[in-house]
Amino acid sequence: MPPSDELAVFGYRQELRRSLGGFSAFAAGFSFVSILTTVFQLFGFGYTFGGPLFFWTWPVVLAGQLLVALVFAELAARYPLAGSVYQWAKQLCLLGPSPRPQPGGKPPWTPQKNVGKGFLGWLAGWMMLLGCVVALAAAAIALQVVLPSVWDGFQLVGGDPSVTSPSGAANAVLLGTLLLVFTTAVNAGGVRLMARINDVGVAAELLGVLVLVTGLGLFAVRGPQVVLHDTPGTGAGIGGVFASALMAAYVLYGFDTAASVAEETKDARRTAPRAVLRAVLVSGIGGLAVVVTALMAAPSLTDGQLAGHGLPYVITAVFGDPLGRIFLADVAVAVVVCTLTIQTGTVRLIYAMARDGALPASTRLSSVSPRTGTPVAPALLSGGLAIGLLLLNVGNPTLFSTITGTSVVVVYLAYLLVTGPLLVQRLRGRFPAEPGRFSLGRWGVPLNGAAVLYGLAMVVNIAWPRAEIYDLTGSGSPWMLLFPLEFVGGALVIGWLCWLRLRPAPALEPAI
């Protein structure tokens, strides 16, 4: 079936340019995760609260996110549509009663564009949109972790480059804003320009990870058994290890972006599921290797440098100043590409919701530039919102951990709004396997159920009101401690009001 006919089945027409191959689709998911960006951002945080034992949060999160990725891969094969999480949740809400076979192998129901069928489908898109905007801001400020270590001239505000200091937080906002202006311009310029930059960046990041792991392994001063022992003074303990899980939880999400560009991917029904699984597996295994080799090669585990300065300290100490700075420059490239791809996924999500009339100003937001073949207005909107979020937090020393923790909670909730309804549909017998497409088969219910339980546990763990994450200044303010819950509560209220205004006439029942 031609791609245009596949979209017609769902009530859409081909507007985006289908020019991405398998590697570009994988690159979209991999660079959203971007292990060099995110591990560099949070290594010091993880070590501070979990010591070497924080390593064990990584395989746990990888296993949990692999469960989610398997579910998403199945959905990507069935619904190859822009917007991934939003479209999957919406289509699941549209599934009718027990399906009956149809002549000619046609689907037992007719997909609907109308967003009025169910609030949960719309809410998944809304929460994912907010999570992407927060993640976009969080990725942009990662430049502060890297660039001042490459050259102190990048510290334009004050003298302390630490993101937990007022001057470092202010400089992070400045660097992040400049980066967001660049990524907005690239995303508005078209998917081919974005893909070229992304492909080169991902290749550089993969090479960088290989060089980093090899180099750290060669200069290791202790064995891998370091991950079995606590280090005095790191704050480890069961509470600290749970808090340190924020690192792995933040790193290993966003792989669904590999499916969010499905309408621009060739042979998306086959390519997107593979890209989603490859993105989470390569990212998870690569990140795990970086963490363990960094612990093996760190000159000291007790002098406070590893907790205070994280991986930049290890790299500079192991590779020396010139080589260390060159490698950190490669990490800066990864940060740029990561931010670019997060915005790409956000743009596709806004476009997907807008063409369903599910957002204010939908007509404007769903228009595609005939010159660039990309939605320009969503690029401008997403960039503007992320910059606004940074400007609201100028000089806030809890900027990084607060935004990071909140983005994890919001995105994981959006994932639950897909995995949860899908589990319900499976149990009702409304999601039978489709021949020739990726399917979990008889393992669908247990794997799907495990993905839901994992998501619930992680949301509770990260949203827990810990001062280590949400109140680094020790003010004791309940407003800071409860920030992710307040953010989610506000998002639900605003979302409900938007839903009441945007909700069209009730959708037609699926054709049976």
CB 48 within 8 A of CB 241: no
Whether the pLDDT of residue 208 is over 70: the answer is yes
> For residue 443, what are the contacts with CB-CB under 8 A and spacing of at least 6?
none
* pLDDT band at residue 353 under the 50/70/90 scheme: very high
Identify the three-state secondary structure at position 265: strand
CA distances from 188 to 266, 347, 383 (A): 21, 9, 10
- Of 419, 30, 485, the C-alpha closest to 253 is 30
Least confident of 373-382, 436-445, 478-487: 478-487
Least confident of 318-322, 462-466, 502-506: 502-506
Percent of residues, the chain, with pLDDT higher than 70: 89
In order, the DSSP letters of 74-141 are: HHHHH---TTTHHHHHHHHHH--SS----GGG--SS-----GGG-HHHHHHHHHHHHHHHHHHHHHHT
Q: Which two tokens stand for residue 448?
A: 């799907």
pLDDT one-digit tens code per residue, 63-116: 999 999 999 999 999 999 999 999 999 999 877 554 444 444 444 333 344 444
> For residue 500, what are the contacts with CB-CB under 8 A and spacing of at least 6?
none
* Block residue for tokens 């704050």: 235
Q: Which two tokens stand for residue 299?
A: 């000159």
Q: How far apart are CA 450 and CA 441, in angstroms?
A: 15
In order, the DSSP letters of 131-171 are: HHHHHHHHHHTTHHHHHHHH-GGG--SSS---TTSHHHHHH
* pLDDT band at residue 499 under the 50/70/90 scheme: confident
Mean pLDDT of the 436-446 span: 94
Tell me phi and psi for residue 464, to 5 degrees.
Answer: -55, 135
CB 50 within 8 A of CB 237: no
Whether the pLDDT of residue 477 is over 80: the answer is no
User: What pLDDT is recorded for position 305?
Assistant: 87
DSSP label of 97:
S
DSSP label of 506:
P
User: What pLDDT is recorded for position 306?
Assistant: 87
